[in-house]
Amino acid sequence: MSLPASSGFYADRGDLGALRLAARRDPEASLPAVARQFESLFVQQMLKAMRAASPGDPLFDSDQSKFYREQFDQQLATQLSERGGLGMADAIVRQLGGGRIPQSPTAPVALAEAGNEPAAAKSRAERSGATATASSAGTGASAFAGPADFVRSIWAHAKTAARQLGTKAEVLVAQAALETGWGRQVPRRADGGSSHNLFGIKTGQHWPGARVAVPTLEFSDGVMRREQAEFRAYDSLAQGFADYVAVLKGSPRYRSALAAAADPQRYAEELQRAGYATDPGYGDKIRSILQGDALQSVLGQLKL
């Protein structure tokens, strides 16, 4: 089901009531909106603590000014959470296996998270390492109508790639779903066209093809920093899947993953161990999607 559009007003109880109803009916679909609400409440508490630590204005402070300042802070927190916020909502959604949060089209800047490669410097930029939330300019509207359409659209390519890797198509679909939020957040070219990059593969130093630049938050030794990252762009989904196969087969670091490919769960675990992603829960999240009701339901409906 689709969630009601938010009014963007912090005191709109109708929005909260509609969100509670939507959460009961479809918890997975409502997760991004709930995460935004949680982030908004956190920001409100942070602003409240900051105000309390301030000596205030001895000339103009009054009960009325404090009342309106509190309203302002609450509205500010709501607007921040709708426009990308602190990244907390995205982290909550990823932690709970919900992929990425599509950002508000009015957001001035929305960031993407991409992990660092723990390998040698020459391969540092080869792979992103984590799921990402790109700016609205970088992702554009989703080319997929939903999980079923996403699976249907990539299934043939996943089967071809899986045969070459010696694994099952389902695990590649699960990984692509994790990386792109079921296709909602595929990096896009400047003209709005899709990069067809479903696996978060960065350009690297020797990539000769097209590329898309995406603002990202990089995590290194527990420290977060903002930078611009470049991701590979392909002419088709088939090309994107073929390059994913080439990256794994062309790097010695993924030998253990390929050796375990016959077991999809071990394959996901070995990808994590090899450093495909810096997220310590990356393999678990792939397995969660692989075994989850969403993917299994779609596979059953499509009889794949």
Please check whether residues 125 and 183 belong to one and the same domain.
yes
State the pLDDT at residue 217: 56
Q: Is residue 130 part of a domain?
A: yes
- How many residues appear in the chain? 304
Residue 88 lies in a domain: no
Same domain, yes or no: 69 and 161 = no
Shared-domain flag, residues 127 and 271: yes
* C-beta neighbour count of 187 within 10 angstroms: 28
Over residues 241-275, the pLDDT tens digits come to: 999 999 999 999 999 999 999 999 999 999 999 99
Q: Are both 68 and 103 inside the same structural domain? A: no
161 has which bridge partners?
none
Task: Show the domain range for 140.
Answer: 93-302
pLDDT at residue 143 in the model: 79
Q: How far is CA 3 from the centre of its chain?
A: 19
Q: Give percent of the chain with pLDDT exceeding 70.
A: 60
Residue at a domain's end among 60, 82, 104? 82
Q: What is the pLDDT of residue 22?
A: 60
| 210 close to 231: Cβ distance less than 8 angstroms | no
Domain boundary among 22, 48, 82: 82
Residue 87 domain-assigned (yes or no):
no
Query: Can you give the pLDDT at residue 255?
Result: 96
Considering the domain architecture, whether residues 250 and 102 belong to the same structural domain is answered as: yes
pLDDT top residue among 19 and 207: 207
Q: Distances from the Cα of 283 to the Cαs of 178, 256, 288, 290, 300, in angstroms?
A: 10, 14, 9, 10, 23
In a domain, 198, yes or no: yes
In a domain, 210, yes or no: yes
Q: Nearest CA to 112 among 91, 92, 95, 141?
A: 91
> Does some domain include residue 2?
no
CA 114-284-175 angle, to 5 degrees, is 55
Instruction: Write down the mean pLDDT value for the chain.
Output: 74
76 plus 103 within the same structural domain: no
Residue 223 located in a structural domain: yes
Considering 39, 73, 218, 269, which one is annotated as catalytic?
Answer: 218
Over 50: is that where the pLDDT of 100 sits? no
243 is catalytic: yes
CATH code, domain with 136: 1.10.530.10
Which residue out of 243, 269, 270, 279 is catalytically annotated? 243
Average pLDDT over residues 38-63: 73
pLDDT of residue 52: 76
The rounded distance, in Å, linking the Cα atoms of 230 and 251 is 20
Does one domain contain both 223 and 254? yes
Q: Specify whether 33 is located in the same domain as 160.
A: no
User: For residues 81 and 73, what is the distance between their CA atoms, to the nearest angstrom?
Assistant: 12
Alpha carbon distance 3, 8 (integer Å): 14
pLDDT of residue 223: 60
The whole-model pTM stands at: 0.57
Together in a domain, 19 and 70: yes
My answer on whether 78 and 102 are in the same domain is no
Per-residue pLDDT reduced to its tens digit, 196-238: 999 989 888 889 999 998 866 555 665 656 777 899 999 999 9
Summarize pLDDT for 109-160 with one digit per residue, the tens: 222 333 333 333 333 334 444 333 333 334 445 678 888 999 999 999 999 9
What is the rounded CA–CA span in Å between residue 288 and residue 154?
Answer: 19
Flag whether 142 is in a domain: yes
pLDDT of residue 94: 66
Q: Do 158 and 281 fall within a single domain?
A: yes
8-17, 164-173, 205-214: least confidently modelled range: 8-17
Structural domain count, the chain: 2
Check residue 102 and give left, alpha or beta (phi > 0: left; psi -120 to 50: alpha): beta
The answer to whether residues 75 and 41 belong to one domain is yes
The CA distance from 279 to 21, in Å, is 32
pLDDT at 50: 77
